[in-house]
């Protein structure tokens, strides 16, 4: 898993998760590189904060773990 120190420097278009609530737990996603299948995730309340950079497969596993409540 990689990360970017400042998510605002990534050349991407961010969109908010459909599960995000206004002013609450907001996650934004972006496609970093469709050819290498890498996505970026950031906290919408900290747009110049860090972003996780995840391969699509890892992102799928991450989302599944969140939905199932198995992420520790």
Half-sphere exposure of 37 (CA within 13 A, CB side): 6
Give the residue from 43, 40, 53 showing the smallest Cα distance to 23.
43
Classified as helix, coil or strand, 35 is: coil
62 vs 18, higher pLDDT: 62
CA distances from 2 to 29, 38, 67, 69, 72 (A): 15, 10, 22, 23, 19
Q: pLDDT (tens digit, 9 = 90+) per residue, 4-28? A: 999 999 999 999 877 666 666 688 9
Ramachandran bin of 42, using left for φ above 0, alpha for ψ from -120 to 50, beta for the remaining angles:
beta
Q: Is the pTM of this model over 0.75?
A: yes
| The pLDDT of residue 17 | 72
């Amino acid at each position: 898993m990689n990360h970017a120190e400042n998510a605002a420097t990534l050349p991407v278009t961010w969109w908010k998760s459909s599960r995000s609530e206004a002013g609450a737990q907001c996650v934004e996603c972006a496609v970093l590189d469709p050819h290498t299948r890498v996505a970026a995730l950031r906290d919408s309340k900290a747009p110049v904060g860090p972003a996780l950079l995840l391969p699509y497969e890892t992102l799928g596993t991450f989302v599944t773990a969140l939905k199932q409540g198995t992420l520790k």
